[in-house]
Amino acid sequence: MKCQKCGKLATFHITELTNSKPVEHHLCEEHARDYLSNSSGSPEPVGNLAAMLSKGSPKPVSVGKAADELKELDQQTCPVCGMSFYEFRQTGRLGCPNDYDYFPKQLEALILNIHGETQHIGKVPKRAQKGTNRKTLLIKLRRDLEDAVLYEDYERAAVLRDKIKEMETECQI
Amino acid sequence: MFTGGCEWLRSEGDDNDIVISSRIRLARNVAGFPFQTRASEQDRKAVCAAVAAAAAEVFDKKKYCCAAVDAFDELERAYLVERQLISRELSQSPGTRSALIDKKEQFCVMVNEEDHLRLCAMTGGFAPYKVWKRINDIDNKLESKLDYVFHRKYGYLTACPTNTGTGMRVSVMLHLPALVISKEIDKVFRSLQKVNLAVRGLYGEGTQPAGDFFQISNQQTLGKTEEELLEKISTMVPQIVNYERQAREYLLKERKEFLFDRCGRAEGLLKTARTIGTAETMHHLSSIRLGVNMKILDGIPLTVVNELFLNTQPAHLQKIQGKELTSSERDVVRADYIRRALSEV
């Protein structure tokens, strides 16, 4: 994606939320700096993830979000694995496959930065994929079971255990 | 323990004076389990068991070993890292994890590394397509028994978005001493960066270049087919090989005395040293390798030089001696081992 101001590669993707409708800006590093220094909110340092993901990379990688939005975003937690976006920004590693769908916009911008593309066109597994999404649900059920045991809610734990067993047989894990 | 094999080291294959080896790794994750950061011990054990069961069905049991990483002691793990059969991360990270290693050392599968599965295949010389055929076949076989996590948009999903899509990293290890001597290497790095290829040290990510060895690999894994990624590396590597050859010719023509002196001194030093560290060994072996390939030094086979690079690494030396050694003891043993190897040829 190109910078709206100069046509260089856009490495910052900023969503402005101050107006009633969110406005998106796609900018190169130089123009993003200009933009952020002129806007009221101070930019959140995106250094951690950027530094890590760009280690050995020729171009800097960043999530490029304005401070407020980033703060709000950081607190969002994937319902399947419990990973928060903040945690991802700190470690650079996701918690489960569902994260890719749960943080779609943020990850799409990041993936575009890293790869310059957002659509896989390579190899596709031959095996039928129909069970894969159901299997992602198993991740959540197992986590719920751990919680139920931790809080000594044995009635719920029993129900969850049966459900997990049923799904495991169905998916042949 | 693996003592034979190590096909990548046998100095066979195309352009083997400059290209040491070609490797490809594929990152895969098993459906129904969280990625490593969120995996419980139970999840890790289940993934290891699922991979072991799938491998037992699709591979010839006589031809590979499958073991828990913790079954190896610290020295054995370091030995496997030096042979590039497992990564430092797999060797050192906590929790249940396993390694499946082909006895000929042509491929390995790391389980519960950054991703559930890291499939690697390797061979000597410049042969990315041959390695792709090998790794693709292994991937197809495992995939017939395992459900991989696959996303319509992002392809094979991985713990880190830098690997998603094909999950494929093609890397070619090059020996570029003449470009280092003539200080042209930075130009090569800059041109590679422009086309989005990464340069790493001998043991991959985060390691320093030693012995003038460099690994060139693709950064992009999404939005290109596997064939396109192979083509990019296959186009760039011969250019670097040519550039190194030109640098060698230049040194021979313009700096002949310096070049002969450097190679001769390296041989003399390694044939007489009584104590020597790994870094100094790598430095001089690199000059000897250059001298052998440029026919400046006679009578040392390339395989002997290549083996010395590996066998003088700390864990290999201790394995050969059959006991643990302190750093200073290793330096003495290393010098002794090199002297014998070079006097026997």
Residue B277 has pLDDT above 50, yes or no: yes
Nearest-angstrom CA–CA distance, A14 and A32: 8
Contact B267, B291 (CB under 8 A): yes
Q: Whose CA is closest to B106, among B19, B2, B231?
A: B2
User: CA–CA separation, B238 vs B177, rounded Å?
Assistant: 16
Q: Look up residue A51 and give its two tokens.
A: 């530094």
**Residue A33, in any domain of the structure:** yes
- The verdict on residue A98 lying in a domain is yes
d(CA B98, CA B117): 10
- With beta carbons under 8 A apart, name residues in chain B contacting A96: 34-35, 38
Q: Domain range holding A92?
A: 69-115
B226 vs A87, A122, A129: nearest CB: A122
**Spatial CB neighbours of B340, under 8 Å, sequence gap ≥ 6:** none
Q: Which residues in chain B (109-148) have CB-CB distances under 8 A to chain A? A: 114, 136, 139-140, 143-144, 147-148
Q: Chain B partners of A127 at a C-beta cutoff of 8 Å?
A: 143-144, 147-148
Tokens of B107: 């491929």
Q: Which residues of A touch B46 (CB under 8 A)?
A: 173
Q: Report yes or no on A99 lying in a domain.
A: yes
Q: Which of A9, A87, A90, A115 to mutate to test the interface with B (most CBs of B within 10 A)?
A: A115
In a domain, A29, yes or no: yes
Contacts of A169 (CB under 8 A, 6+ apart): none
What is the number of domains present in chain A? Answer: 3
**SS3 category, B155:** strand
Minimum mean pLDDT among B1-10, B52-61, B219-228, B330-339: which range? B1-10
For chain B, give the mean pLDDT. Answer: 92
* A160-164, B116-120, B147-151, B206-210 — most confident range: B116-120
Would you call B35 and A94 a contact, using CB atoms and an 8 Å cutoff? yes
Which amino acid, residue B148?
Y
Write down the pLDDT at residue B23. Answer: 96
**A117 with B153: Cβ contact below 8 A:** no
What is residue B91's three-state secondary structure? helix
Task: Please write the tens of the pLDDT for every residue from B123-151.
Answer: 999 999 999 999 999 999 999 999 999 99
pTM score > 0.90 for this model?
A: no
Dist CA B2 CA B5 (whole Å)? 7
Strand partners, B30: B148
The 10s digit of each residue's pLDDT in B24-82 is 999 999 999 999 999 999 999 999 999 999 999 999 999 999 999 999 999 999 999 99
Question: For B151, which of A53, A100, A142 is closest by C-beta distance?
Answer: A100
Whether residue A157 is found in the same domain as residue A133 = yes
Regarding whether A162 and A131 lie in a shared domain, the answer is: yes
How many angstroms separate the CA atoms of A144 and B40, rounded?
Answer: 13
Q: Tell me the Ramachandran region of residue B6: left when phi exceeds 0, alpha when psi lies from -120 to 50, beta otherwise.
A: left
Bridge partner residues of B165 (DSSP): B155, B156
Q: Which pLDDT value is given to residue B9?
A: 66
> Distance (Å, rounded) from C-alpha B47 to C-alpha B36?
11
Query: Does A166 reside within a domain?
Result: yes
Residue A93 to residue B144, Cβ atoms within 8 A:
no
Per-residue pLDDT of chain A (173 residues; tens, 9 = 90+): 667 777 676 666 665 655 455 566 777 767 776 766 554 433 333 333 444 444 444 444 445 556 777 777 778 899 999 999 999 988 999 999 999 999 998 899 999 999 999 999 999 998 756 556 677 788 888 888 988 998 999 999 999 999 888 887 776 65
Residue A107 CB-density burial (10 A; 0-12 exposed, 13-18 middle, 19+ buried): buried
Closest Cβ opposite residue B149 in set A53, A97, A126: A97
Q: Answer yes or no: is A109 within a domain.
A: yes
In a domain, A3, yes or no: no
Residues present in chain B in total: 345
Nearest to B166 among A82, A107, A122 (CB): A122
Residues A46 and A83 in one domain: no
Q: Is the dihedral of CA B253, B254, B260, B266 positive or negative?
A: negative
- Answer yes or no: is pLDDT of B309 > 50: yes
Q: CB B223 to CB A53 under 8 A?
A: no
| Contact by Cβ (8 Å): B21, B173 | yes
The DSSP letter of residue B311 is H
Contact A58 B200 (CB under 8 A): no
Q: Which of A55, A81, A125 sits opposite B34 (nearest CB)?
A: A81
Residues A49 and A19 in one domain: yes
Instruction: Determine, yes or no, domain membership for A44.
Output: yes
Which parts of chain B fold into alpha helices (H)?
41-58, 74-82, 88-92, 128-143, 177-181, 185-194, 226-254, 256-272, 278-293, 302-311, 314-321, 327-344
Interchain CB contact of B34 with A (< 8 Å):
yes
For A88-93, which contacts have Cβ atoms below 8 Å and span 24 or more sequence positions? A88/A49, A89/A46, A89/A48, A89/A49, A89/A63, A90/A48, A90/A49, A91/B37, A92/A49, A92/A52, A92/A53, A92/B160, A93/B35, A93/B36, A93/B37, A93/B114, A93/B159, A93/B160
